[in-house]
Amino acid sequence: MRPGPLIAIDVVSLYTLLSPLVLFGIYVFFDWIGQKSLEESNNTSLSREASEKDPGLWTREEILAFLNRK
């Protein structure tokens, strides 16, 4: 077989095998960036409410008051 078709077959097989890995890597990168920005925004709100009572121990009335506050 001539080198042209062999190169084409190699390129297509490389793209077929490596493209899912590259796309997965891009997805993980964007997810990592999103997690960092989410943690930064949560840290400011958590530090502000750190002195309040733990939400895991709230009563029904406290939960309803918090939901109605927003």
For residue 61, what are its two tokens? Answer: 């009335």
Q: What is the pLDDT along the chain (70 residues), one digit of tens a residue?
A: 899 999 999 999 999 999 999 999 999 999 998 887 766 666 555 555 555 677 778 888 888 888 898 6
Cα 20 from Cα 12, distance rounded (Å): 13
pLDDT recorded at residue 49: 55
DSSP-assigned states of every residue in 3-54: HHHHHHHHHHHHHHHHHHHHHHHHHHHHHHHHHHHHHHHHHHHHHHTTTSPP
Instruction: Work out how many domains the chain is built from and give that number.
Output: 1
Q: Domain range for residue 44? A: 3-69
pLDDT recorded at residue 56: 79
